[in-house]
Amino acid sequence: MSSMTRRAALGTVTGFVGGVAGCAGLLDGESFPIQRSWQTGFRDPSSVAMTAAGQLLAGSHSPFRDRPIVAGLDAQSGETTWTVTVAKGEKSPLGVGDGRAYAISKAETMVSIDAATGESVWQRRLAPIDAADPEVVEFAPIPLGDRIVVPISGTEDDVPDRLVGVARADGETLFTHSLSASLSGAPGATSGGVVAPLIDGRVLFLDRTGEVGWTRDLGAPLSAVGATDGTAYLGAATEELLALETATGAVAWRGSLANTVFARPLVADDRVYVGGADYTLRAFDPASSQQLWRDDLGNAVTHGPMQVGDRLVTLVGGTHDIRGSSGTIPFSPTVLYVHEQDGTRIREIRFDDKSFDSGSIEWAQAAGETVYLGHTDDLTRVAPEAITDA
C-alpha cells in the first residue's frame, strides 16, 4: 500500500481550505526555491483576483460540491474568510469587477458574489453546460460595463459554443451569440465589446449588445487576447504577433515570432510583451511594430508575462492544456522568470521534483502587489520582495 504524503495527511485533518497558511510541513521551507508570504491548502485552485478595495479572491476548478466556486482570503495570512459553493461540477476561473466576483460551474450555475462579504448577489442557471467536457468552463466571465459576457466553449461537439451576455445587476440573460467554432483562447475586453479568438483561425468582435462588429480569418489558431481600447493583440500559429484595430478588425501590423503563442500578450507602459512556444520573451513597440528586445528562456511560455510593479514575471513549463492543432509542449522544466521592462533578466527560479511532495505548479497569476502560484494541492503567495527586490 502506498504511503500517504505529508500534504495528504495534513489535508485529511485541516480540510480543503484554510487552517494551514504558512505551514512549512506542506512544502519544506528550505527546499522551496522562492521566498513566499504563505502557502495554504486551498485545493485545485483555478485563479486568484484582487478587487480595487484589496480583497483577495480565489476559485477552485474542482468538480466537488464542497470546494468553493469563490472564496475570500486574507491577503496577509492566506486564511479563508468565507466561501461560496454550488452544486457538483467543474468551475471556471474568476471574473472580477465593481466589487463583485463572477464564476460559472458545469453544474449550469453562474454566481455573482459580493467580494467584501461573501454574500450571494444572485445565482442564475446557464444551460446547456452540464453534458459538456470540463473545458467548457475554462475561461472566466468578463465584466463589461453593466453586463457580464460569459464564454461557454469546450473542445468537443457536445454543447453549443457561445458567448452569453447577462445583466450585472441581476443575471438576466440579455443575449446569446453562437460561435462557429470553439474558442482557442480567452477573449479580451475593450470599452465597447469583446474580441474572441476561434480555433478555426477566425477572430470576431462582439459589441456589448451581442452584435458582431466584424470577423476576420487569420488562418491559424490564436492565443488569448490582450486588448486596449484601440488595438487587440494575439499570438498566432502562423508564428506571428498580430495587432488588430478593434474598430475594424484590420491587421495594423505583424510581429515575427518563431512558433505559436499559448499565453495572453501583455500591453503595459507603451509596450507589448509576448511569451512564445519558441522559448522566448519579446517586447514590441506598438507604434512602430519593431521588436525592442528578446530573451531566450528555458521552455515554452505558458503564463504571462505579468506586470508586478515595474517588473515582468513569466512562467514557463508547468501544466497547460493546448487547444487546437498547435501540438504539445514539454512540461519540464518549470521556471519562473523576473525581468526588468528593458529585458534585463534579474531572477530565474526553477521548480523541480524536490520542490513539492507531489503534484506540480499549474499556473502563475499576478494579483495586487505580487504573484500567486496555483498548485495541484495548494495556493502559494510569493513574497512581494522576492519580485520587486530581486
288-321 tens-digit pLDDT: 999 999 999 999 999 999 999 999 999 999 877 7
Give the single-character DSSP code of 354: G
| Residue range 80-136, pLDDT digits in tens | 999 999 999 999 999 999 999 999 999 999 999 999 999 999 999 998 988 888 889
Tell whether the model's pLDDT for residue 68 goes beyond 70.
yes
Cα distance between residue 74 and residue 253, in whole Å: 43
Task: Collect contacts of 176-179 with beta carbons under 8 A, ≥24 apart.
Answer: 176/210, 177/206, 177/210, 177/212, 179/153
Cα distance between residue 59 and residue 53, in whole Å: 18
Kindly state the cell numbers that stand for 66: 464542497
Which stretch of DSSP H or E encloses residue 115? none
Mean pLDDT of 34-40: 93
For residue 133, the model assigns a pLDDT of 83
What is the value of pTM for the model shown?
A: 0.89
Phi and psi torsions of 7, nearest 5°: -65, -45
Cα distance between residue 182 and residue 169, in whole Å: 28
Cα distance between residue 361 and residue 29, in whole Å: 16
* DSSP states of 320-360: ----SSS-------EEEEEEETTS-EEEEEEE-GGG-SS--
Which stretch of DSSP H or E encloses residue 169? none
Tell whether the model's pLDDT for residue 346 goes beyond 50.
yes
Tell whether the model's pLDDT for residue 71 goes beyond 60.
yes
Looking at per-residue confidence, does 193 or 12 come out higher? 193
Residue with cell 466576483: 101
* Three-state DSSP class for residue 134: helix
Residue with cell 471556471: 92
**Amino acid found at 253:** W
CA-nearest of 221, 145, 140, 146 to 188 is 140
CA-nearest of 291, 284, 283, 303 to 345 is 283
Cα distance between residue 274 and residue 70, in whole Å: 30
Cα distance between residue 264 and residue 289, in whole Å: 18
| Residue range 190-219, pLDDT digits in tens | 989 999 999 999 999 999 999 999 999 998
Q: How far is CA 93 from CA 41, 151, 232, in A?
A: 18, 11, 22
By CB atoms closer than 10 A (0-12, 13-18, 19+), residue 177 is: middle
For residue 156, the model assigns a pLDDT of 84
For residue 323, the model assigns a pLDDT of 74
Kindly state the cell numbers that stand for 29: 521551507
Average pLDDT along the chain: 88
For residue 358, the model assigns a pLDDT of 64
- With left for phi above 0 and alpha for psi between -120 and 50, is residue 49 left, alpha or beta? beta
From the centroid of its chain, how far is CA 159? 23
As separate numbers, helices (DSSP H) first and strands (DSSP E) second, the chain gives 2, 32
Residue with cell 499559448: 262
Tell whether the model's pLDDT for residue 74 goes beyond 80.
yes
Cα distance between residue 8 and residue 69, in whole Å: 22
Tell whether the model's pLDDT for residue 146 goes beyond 90.
yes
CA-atom Rg of the chain in angstroms: 20
Instruction: Look at 60-74, 261-275, 282-296, 351-365 and tell me which has the smallest mean pLDDT.
Output: 351-365
Determine what percent of the chain is predicted with pLDDT higher than 90: 74
